[in-house]
Amino acid sequence: MKQTIRIARTELQLLFFSPIAWLILIVFTIQAGIVFSGVLEGMVQFKEMGYSLEGVTLKLYTDPWGGFYTRLLGYLYFYIPLLTMGMMSREISSGSIKLLYSSPISDAQIIFGKFMSIAAYALLMTGIVFIFTLYGAFVVDKFDFPATMPGLLGIFLLICAYGAVGLFMSSLTSYQVVAAMGTFAVFAVLNYTSQLWQDIAFVRDIMFWLSMGGRTHEFIGGIVSTEDVIYFITVVGLFLGLCIFRFRAIRQKTRAIVSLGRYALVIGAAVMVGYLSSRPAMMLYYDATRTKLRTLTKASQDIVSKAKGGLTITTFSNALDEDRWLWMGMPRAELDDMRRFREYQRFKPEIKMNYVRYFAKGNNEESLNQRFPNLNDRQRMAKVAQTYGVDSAIFQPVSELGKIQTTLAEENFRYIKVLERDSGQRSVLRVFNDAMGFPSEAEISAAIKRLVVTLPKVGFVGGHGERDCIREGDRDYNKFAKENTFRYSLINQGFDFEQLTLDKEVPAYVSILVIADVKTALPALHLEHLKQYIARGGNLLIAGEPKRQETMNPITELFGVRLMEGRLVKPNKDYQADLIFSQPTEAAGEFSKMFRILRKNNQVVVMPSAVGLQYSNANANGYAATPWLVTDSAGAWNELETIDFIDDSTVFNPAAGETAAENVATAVALSRKVGEKEQKVIILGDADCISNGELGHSRKDIFAGNFLLIAGSFNWLSNYDAPVDVSRPPFTDNDIHIGKSGFRVSRIIFTFILPAIMLVSYLVIWFRRRRQ
């Protein structure tokens, strides 16, 4: 060990007596200063424009798209070949290698000594990055220091891995330039192997493991995993081992076949270690972020812990599906897909991922006929396979898939995942027609939860002209109830539903009843069945509409609530007067986090025609009432005269019985104790606010939160069983104590003064050495 340290010390002295090591440090510092100043300037400008900041530590340093660490990674590989190109080639070209051979020093000691000098230099470069990180501790409010440490570790390990590669390449030639170019070539290979042979599963896994590209991103994101740590240690060991055997072959004049065998042994050992360390059961993780941003929330962890036994996630991809999802069904996309479930495999390593590819027409037959006229389905599939460069044999006719065909047909043969336990229980996980596309933690956890608990069953009452949860019309409820491609629909958030009528008793398994926009009065028998459901403590969501007071009040009065006559209006130069923007109350935030988000974001619930609700806070029926949504504080009234809100103007007319409607409730929550359970009821003064038309509508400068109204309402009605609560603690590092002038000073320090100090240090050492 003493000999190894002595070699490392000598190598470091040679490095810092030469200008190249200092030049690299100075240029690296300047570049880091420029990169950091660019990120910091964006933050300062954002604050100067009056916007609020959130999670400053992560955005400034660890953001995967524009953080300081991420941007800096793109430049690291430029420096290491310049540093390592002469470490061994210099010894070979000068002949000093013969002195090393003749000395009582082993090949391993020589290589490890030189690598230790590289590791020390890597530590110095990481220290420069740490200076920029330390700066954040002084300017960022409540700086999340632990979250930045994995990123620094990742940068250090990456430089060490680059150094080991450079050291090996330097041992292959006596020409320093050739060594540097060879190192760049190896870097290119190690960064792009993950794109090679992705259609062959076993080879794809090996290529992905060998790929260095993206390995540091997990560290930068705040996660330290044994897989990534072992990867870098293995890469270092691999190239140091190759370097040692390269020296041994030269010194001992070993036969080529023996040398190749040794190289193969080192490579095989590295591949074996890498394969074992990448198995989910062998992985350990540490999330250093304050809010555990890269770890499943407690709710999701509890759900996964209940899914005992095996769990298989099978992806079904249709060759004739939409182009967007067709690509994600190809073999080369499998690794990326698997990594989306990495956090789940962390808590349930036995999760298996399977992929099935087939071809069938969905509801896109018209598009297929336009793109592939005069071709049958098999020929179309072959054309698609040829276009994507895959073997058409991987796609089988849907008729050969057995019973799963029924599920695929129900999903219109779109890209889906089927989760299945060993017991045979199944759940469907979908993709969505939004910018994100793939399911998030909320949808994945909801799909798993379907397998382990009995989820709330929602019954939609029909038979009296109510809103339909099956049809796709603008005024119906298909979008928020069952539309597969809509992320926030009940079916994707952990609810089951069915349509029912009140000509017979409400089934016992229904826990939430939805009655919306009743057009004809309920017959006595139907009303009696509804009263029976209420008496047993069932929960309800009731949505009224203007002109429906006569048919709706017999229902709402069962809870001590009455729909006011007329409709609410508030004249607006941009919209119809009866378009109401309801505000969430502070009391609503006590019922659901969704309403706290509404208030925090200054969002409103848009109600296209609404009636006010009259109630008492504690009524004779035993319900305690709390207003959730109210009208604006001024300018609204209860309109009784106007019928045409498009061509006619609305005028407040007290003589006609119209009254001011400031802070009038448009949504009320009621609750009471029924036996051992709490009965919960929500009454809305508008049924359109949760309709297909409104959920698909956007208005200029109106920040609508109707989705949150749905999620918050059903979260409360289901006793918080669904949707799955994947919210995290709020960020606390939400400000930066620096302005424009402070930024300018910081930029000068980072890009000029700090490099100048290093340059002066080098000149002092150089002059002292010359005097000696």
CA distance 516 to 688: 9
pLDDT at 429: 95
Coil vs helix vs strand at 42: helix
Model pTM score: 0.86
Q: What are phi and psi of 320, to 5 degrees?
A: -105, 20
Residue with tokens 């999903």: 411
Read off the pLDDT band of 622 (50, 70, 90). confident
CA distance 548 to 520: 9
What digits encode the pLDDT tens for the residues 103-157?
667 777 888 888 899 999 999 999 999 999 999 999 999 999 999 999 999 999 9
CA distance 509 to 505: 11
CATH number for 454-717 (one of 3.30.70, 3.30.470, 3.40.1000, 3.40.50): it is 3.40.50
Q: What are phi and psi of 176, to 5 degrees?
A: -65, -40
pLDDT at 745: 93
pLDDT at 627: 96
CA distance 93 to 98: 11
Domain residue ranges of the chain, discontinuous segments joined by +: 2-290, 298-430, 454-717
- The yes-or-no verdict on residue 89 having pLDDT over 70 is no
Q: Give the residue among 695, 728, 680 at the shortest CA–CA distance from 605.
A: 695
Longest Cα–Cα distance in the chain: 113
DSSP states of 111-144 as a string?
HHHHHHHHHHHHHHHHHHHHHHHHHHHHHBTT--
Average pLDDT over residues 58-70: 90
Read off the pLDDT band of 98 (50, 70, 90). low
**Region for 618 from its dihedrals, namely left if φ exceeds 0, alpha if ψ lies in -120 to 50, beta otherwise:** beta
Peptide bond into 723 cis (omega under 30): yes
CA distance 455 to 496: 7
**Counting beta carbons within 10 angstroms of the beta carbon of residue 643, is it exposed (0 to 12), middle (13 to 18) or buried (19 or more)?**
exposed
- The yes-or-no verdict on residue 681 having pLDDT over 60 is yes
pLDDT at 91: 63
Q: State the SS3 of 229-267.
A: HHHHHHHHHHHHHHHHHHHHHHHHCCCHHHHHHHHHHHH
Residue with tokens 């501790």: 137
CA distance 134 to 652: 63
CA distance 739 to 725: 37
- The yes-or-no verdict on residue 209 having pLDDT over 60 is yes
Chain centre to alpha carbon of residue 697? 25
CA distance 699 to 575: 10
Element (H, E) at 627: strand 624-630
- The yes-or-no verdict on residue 451 having pLDDT over 80 is yes
Q: Give the residue among 391, 268, 378 at the shortest CA–CA distance from 332.
A: 391
Q: How far is CA 417 from CA 132, 367, 438, in A?
A: 44, 24, 11
Average pLDDT over residues 76-88: 77
pLDDT at 314: 96
pLDDT at 302: 94
Euclidean distance between the first and the last CA atom of the chain, given in angstroms as a whole number: 30
CA distance 64 to 58: 9
Residue with tokens 């999701």: 300
Read off the pLDDT band of 97 (50, 70, 90). low
pLDDT at 579: 92
- For 373-511, where are the E strands, in sequence order? 396-397, 416-421, 426-430, 457-461, 496-500
- The yes-or-no verdict on residue 645 having pLDDT over 70 is yes
pLDDT at 365: 78
What digits encode the pLDDT tens for the residues 238-253?
888 888 888 777 666 7
Average pLDDT for the chain? 88
User: Residue 681 forms beta bridges with which residues?
Assistant: 540, 670
When comparing pLDDT for 412 and 211, which is higher?
412
Q: How far is CA 177 from CA 83, 94, 170, 180, 181, in A?
A: 11, 15, 9, 5, 6
What digits encode the pLDDT tens for the residues 33-57?
999 999 999 999 988 888 888 999 9
Q: What are phi and psi of 396, to 5 degrees?
A: -115, 155
User: Residue 512 forms beta bridges with which residues?
Assistant: 458, 539
Read off the pLDDT band of 415 (50, 70, 90). very high
249 C-beta neighbours (distance < 10 Å), count: 18
- For 337-481, where are the E strands, in sequence order? 351-359, 396-397, 416-421, 426-430, 457-461
Q: Give the residue among 204, 343, 185 at the shortest CA–CA distance from 726.
A: 343
pLDDT at 508: 93
Q: Which residues of 708-730 are buried (b: 16+ CB within 10 A; e: fewer)?
A: bbbbbbbbbbbeebbbbbbeeee
In a 13 Å sphere around the CA of 134, the CA atoms on its Cβ side amount to 7
Asked if 604 contacts 667 with a C-beta cutoff of 8 angstroms, the reply is no
Element (H, E) at 614: strand 613-615
Considering the chain, what percentage of its residues have pLDDT values greater than 90? 51
